């Protein structure tokens, strides 16, 4: 069990009642992992939400391998040669693994420790049951998770735009 006082200091949990913090503490544990530790991979079913206490965690995605060529058949069947790339690095106070709270509970990206990291790990199966009993708690947490998703989408959009600006498409002149 975690300390409710430890949990209280993270922005995602701000304004929750003491009972809510105790519920979170009961569903959580403190974990320290080495650099390179894989929390989960894109596409996996996940049931844990994480908050970074110390260190850095990379949000990863599989992208087509640079320099690889693919046949039309490979492209059609999605049998592409891929490589893992870090699309975002998150640090203390930030959340990852939000897919564990959103059906179908399938990771939209992977997560890997970029440095030795300390994280709080929350069992989302237990939390979902608690949300059913205390709908206000569930509503507040889902609002916070929605804000995390919104921020990640915004960051991904900005990253995509920066890549387009670095490599603009040049129209042929007549």
**pLDDT tens per residue, range 63-77:** 777 777 767 676 667
Residue spans per domain, the chain: 4-142
Per-residue pLDDT averaged across 90-113, rounded? 96
The C-alpha atoms of residue 50 and residue 166 are separated, in whole angstroms, by: 33
Asked if residue 108 has pLDDT above 90, the reply is yes
132: closest CA among 93, 167, 101, 97? 101
Residues 6 or more apart whose CB falls under 8 angstroms from that of 59 comprise 86, 87, 88, 89, 90, 96, 109, 110, 111, 152
Q: Which fold has domain 4-142?
A: Jelly Rolls (2.60.120)
Contacts 24+ apart (CB under 8 A), 14-18: 15/140, 16/137, 16/140, 17/137
Q: Residue 150: what pLDDT?
A: 94
Q: Are strands 82-90 and 117-123 parallel, antiparallel or unpaired?
A: unpaired
pLDDT in tens, 125-159: 999 999 999 999 999 999 999 999 999 888 878 87
Considering only the C-alpha atoms of the chain, give the largest distance between any 2 of them, rounded to a whole number of Å: 70
What is the pTM assigned to this prediction?
0.84
What pLDDT is stored for residue 63 in this prediction?
A: 76
Reported as half-sphere exposure (CB side, CA atoms, 13 A), residue 142 has a value of 14
CB 163 within 8 A of CB 85: no
């Amino acid at each position: 069990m975690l300390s409710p006082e430890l949990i209280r200091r993270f922005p995602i949990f701000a304004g929750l009642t003491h009972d809510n913090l105790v519920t979170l503490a009961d569903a959580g544990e403190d974990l320290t992992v080495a650099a390179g530790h894989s929390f989960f991979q894109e596409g996996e079913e996940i049931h844990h939400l994480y908050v970074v206490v110390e260190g850095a965690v990379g949000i990863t995605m599989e992208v087509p391998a640079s320099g690889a060529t693919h046949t039309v058949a490979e492209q059609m069947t999605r049998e592409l040669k891929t490589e893992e790339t870090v699309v975002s690095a998150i640090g203390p106070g930030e959340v990852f693994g939000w897919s564990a709270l959103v059906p179908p509970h399938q990771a939209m990206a992977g997560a890997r420790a970029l440095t030795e990291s300390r994280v709080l790990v929350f069992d989302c199966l237990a939390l979902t049951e608690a949300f059913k009993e205390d709908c206000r708690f569930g509503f507040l947490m889902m609002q916070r998770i929605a804000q995390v998703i919104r921020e990640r989408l915004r960051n991904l959009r900005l990253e995509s735009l920066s890549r387009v600006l670095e490599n603009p498409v040049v129209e042929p002149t007549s």
